[in-house]
Amino acid sequence: MSLTELTIADAAAGLRARKFSAVELVRAHTDAIAALNPRLNAYITTTSDAALQAATHADEALAKGEAKPLTGIPLGIKDLFCTSGVRTTAASNILKNFVPPYESTVTANLLRDGAVFVGKTNLDEFAMGSANITSAFGPVENPWKRNGDDAALVPGGSSGGSAAAVAAGLAMGATGTDTGGSIRQPAAYCGIVGLKPTYGRCSRFGTIAYASSLDQAGPMARSVRDCAIMLQSMAGFDVRDSTSVNCDVPDYSAAVGRSLKGLKVGIPAEYRAEGLSAEIEAAWQRGIEWLKAAGCEIVDVSLPHTKYGLATYYIVAPAECSSNLARYDGLRFGERVPGDTLDAMYEATRRAGFGPEVRRRIMMGTYVLSAGYYDAYYLKAQKVRSLIRRDFTESFQKVDVLLTPTAPTPAFAQGEKTDDPVQMYLNDIFTVPASMAGMPAMSVPVGLGATGLPLGLQLIGRPFDEETLLAAGSALESAAGFTHRPVIRAEGAK
C-alpha cells in the first residue's frame, strides 16, 4: 500500500516497526503535494523543506526510542492557525504577507507530540464560507468527481483545503476550525471524518478569530481513530484562552470501538427538513439501522428551534466578525493602502484587503450592533440562541447522542449557488445548531450517493463527551465499510 494511503494509526505503527522512515513517509506526501497541489489548490503555502528536515529529526527520535504519539506524521494546518515564522494568511489579501512571530496553542501541542507540518491549507477568507470559493488565493477543487462528469466540485468550507488535502493523500490529517460547520460540512463533501469538539475543548489562542463565541479547532482525518489521536494532542486547558475549559482530557482512542450496548440515540424530527436529498435521507435511515444493530436504542426527539439556527447564526457570527475584524486597520500589521486622512486610509485598506463576502458580513454585523437595531437583531438572536441550546440540553436528558445528516446535499459544482448569499448559507442548516449550542459534533462518511459522491452523517453529543461521538462514529465507520477513494489522489502520482 502506498504511504499516502495509510491511516495515522498504521503509519505510527509502521514508523515504530521501522517498516519505513519518517523521511520516506513525509517525502511521499511532499511529492504528492508537488504533483497535485497545482490542480487542487489545497495548500496556500507549502513547507516541504522544513517538513523533510523535521522528518530527519523524527527518524532520530524513533531510532532512540523517543517517539511521541505523532512523531513523523505529516499534517496539514489550516491557514488560520498562527505558525511561528511561517506565513499565515487566513486566505485574505489583508494578511497576505503576515508572518506570525508566535505559535498557536493547538499547533504547538501537535509539534510537542512530534507532528510534521507539510503546509498551510486553503480556506474561505477568514473562514467565512461554505464552499472554499471566497479565498483570496483561489478556490480549492474537491478531489471527488461525479460519475462520468469532470466538472470541478467544491470541497465545502471553510476548511476546504484541509478536507481536500486529507481526502487526496496530501496529508495524513489536518487541523480545521468550525464556526458553523466548517469542519463537518467539508469532511462530508470530501468523504473524510471531521470532529468539532465542545466549545472550550481546544484553545483558541493563536487561531485567527472569526466569531469568538463559536470558533473551535478540531481534527480532520481519514478514520475515526485518527481523529481521536489528533484530538488527544490538540485538546487541553490553556490559560491564554479565557474560554478554555479546565477539565481532564480523557483517552480518546480508548473510546474508539467501545461497545454501544444500551446507548440511546436520538433522531430529531426537525432534521427531516425541506431540501434534504432523498439519497441523504436513505443514508440516514441506514445509519439508524446500523446503530440499532450495534445495540443502540433509537429514540425520536424534537429540537423545535432547529429551523431558526441559521438565521440566528447569521446575526451572531457577523456581529462578532465585525468586532474581531476591526483590528485590520492597516496600522499594526497587514496590508496598508494609503489615503489622505486616517479614515480614508482605513476605508481604502479594508476595501482592498477584504473580499466581498467578508465585507458583507462585517457590514451585516455592524448594522445589527448599531444603535437602534441592537435589541431587534443581536439581543433577539442571543435569546433564540438560548432556546436552541435548551432544545439540546432537554434532548440529552433522554438520549446520549443525536444522529442527523451532516449536509442537505453532496458536494456541488464550483459556480453553483453563488448568486444569492442565503442559498449558500443553507448548506450549513444541519451543522449550525450544534455550533450555536457549543455541543461537540462529528461527521463520518457512510457511503456514496447516486452520482458517486460521498455522503456524511453527523453525530452530536453532550458537552465534553467527545468519547461517545468517537464510539458511535467508529460503529458507523465499521458498518459502512467506507473504503472509497476520490478520483484525484496521491496514489500513483509521481
Please say if 158 is a catalytic residue.
yes
Tell me if 134 sits within 8 A of 418, measured CB to CB.
no
- What is the pattern of x (binds another protein, CB under 8 A) and - over residues 168-207? ------------------------------xxx-------
Measured in degrees and rounded to the nearest 5, phi and psi for residue 272 equal -80, 65
Measured in degrees and rounded to the nearest 5, phi and psi for residue 61 equal -65, -40
Please say if 223 is a catalytic residue.
no
Residues of this chain, 426-445, that bind another protein according to CB under 8 A: 437-438
Indicate which residue of 48, 104, 135, 158 is catalytic.
Answer: 158
Indicate which residue of 21, 104, 159, 182 is catalytic.
Answer: 182
Q: Pick from 77, 78, 74: which is nearest to 55 by CA?
A: 74
Determine which residue in the list 213, 277, 418, 451 makes contact with another protein, applying CB under 8 A.
213
DSSP result, 123-143: -SGGG--SSS---TT-PPPPS
Is residue 386 at the binding interface for another protein, with CB under 8 A as the rule?
yes
- What is the pattern of x (binds another protein, CB under 8 A) and - over residues 97-116? xxxxxx--------------
Is residue 78 at the binding interface for another protein, with CB under 8 A as the rule?
no
Please say if 48 is a catalytic residue.
no
How many Å from the N-terminal Cα to the C-terminal Cα in the chain?
A: 15
Q: Which range touches another protein (CB under 8 A), out of 28-36, 93-101, 260-268, 272-280?
A: 93-101
Task: Look up cell 489550516; give the residue.
Answer: 78
Tell me if 121 sits within 8 A of 159, measured CB to CB.
yes
Determine which residue in the list 300, 370, 415, 478 makes contact with another protein, applying CB under 8 A.
370
Nearer to another protein, 40 or 310 (CB): 310
Cis amide linkage into residue 158, ω under 30° from 0: yes
Between the alpha carbon of residue 396 and those of residues 169, 263, 299, 494, the distances in Å are 37, 12, 11, 50
Nearer to another protein, 159 or 312 (CB): 312
Cell of 307: 429551523
Is residue 374 at the binding interface for another protein, with CB under 8 A as the rule?
no
Q: Which amino acid is at 150?
A: D
Is residue 381 at the binding interface for another protein, with CB under 8 A as the rule?
yes
Residues of this chain, 289-348, that bind another protein according to CB under 8 A: 305, 307-308, 311-312, 314-315, 322, 326, 329-336, 338-348
Determine which residue in the list 350, 417, 462, 489 makes contact with another protein, applying CB under 8 A.
350
Determine which residue in the list 421, 451, 452, 491 makes contact with another protein, applying CB under 8 A.
421
Determine which residue in the list 13, 63, 293, 379 makes contact with another protein, applying CB under 8 A.
379
| Cα separation, 442 vs 203, whole angstroms | 18
Write down how long the chain is: 494
